[in-house]
Structure 1
Amino acid sequence: MSTPQLPAGAEARLTFTVSDDDTAAAVGSGDLAVLGTPRLLAWCEAATCAAIADHLDAASTSVGTRVALEHRAASPVGAVVDVHATLVHVDGRLARFSVAAEHRVGDGPPVLVGTGEVTRVVVDAERFLARLG
């Protein structure tokens, strides 16, 4: 695996609809029927993966190493959540992303759901798994 050439500014937008399976009650992070923080984080990480997927060779993948996420607003079941990730810093195999999520309910205006930063490191998938022994 050679050091990837990840372009700063690479981005991805993913859209999700909050279902009963995505709620805090379902994922074990509370007891309310609103988007659970662990699911919001998973969606943010999915967007970071999508932002660099086309820039990795077939033997490479990326693994999350650091997350800072502020979950700012509750999203009800049925809300459409747009997650945006932008690659803001590259240092060799390290990639740091800015992430943001907004939701829409019906025809209402977008509501900022969460913001944060996700750091990932590009690894050779086979070598990474082999070290787990």
Structure 2
Amino acid sequence: MKEYSKEFVVDYKETAKAVGSGDLEVLATPAMIAMVENTAKEYLHKELAPEESSVGTVVEAKHLRPSKVGARITITVRIESQEKTKINFSFTAVDQDQVVATGTHQRAVILTDVFLNKLSLAKSKDE
């Protein structure tokens, strides 16, 4: 099983109060999800060709415990399966020795130019 870990330090701008997802100065769930996506993206980046990138498509998360500003969060992603261009990860987020979140994340490998061209074509149709 392939896995990759990355450490993050919780900053005030990543708190629920700062991002508007809650009223407290604890790690916001959206910020934790961004950490997961960043870790998976960084792992895949090493495996992709220069013309490829990856985009997040699905996240399912259980945010189990709060983490304060200054906490060191280690995100570990594990590749569970791959279906053509879709890569399925499981993840854990750990604050010291406490699991603070678990879940799954899917990323799709894309050809960057093709993806961006589709986006600009869709935009021009809307105008």
1:76 corresponding residue in structure 2 = 68
Distance 1:115 1:100, change over 3 A: same
Deviation at 1:47, TM superposition (A): 1.1
1:56 aligns with 2:48: yes
Q: How does 1:35-50 map to 2 (within 5 A)?
A: 35-50=27-42
1:92 is matched by which residue type in structure 2?
Answer: K
Amino acid at match of 2:106: T
Task: State the superposition RMSD in angstroms.
Answer: 0.9
- Deviating above 2 A after TM superposition, structure 1's stretches of 4 or more consecutive aligned residues are none
What's the TM-score, normalizing by structure 1? 0.87
Deviations 1:38-72 (A, max 9, x none): 00000001111122211100000011111101100
Aligned residue pair count:
120
Contact 1:16 1:80 in 2 (8 A): yes
TM-score normalized by structure 2? 0.91
Deviation (angstroms), 1:10: 2.7
Residue 58 of structure 1 aligns with an amino acid whose one-letter code is P
Q: Which ranges of structure 2 fall in alignment gaps of 5 or more residues?
A: 121-127
Identify the structure with the greater helix proportion: 2
The 1-side partners of 2:74 and 2:28 are apart by 15
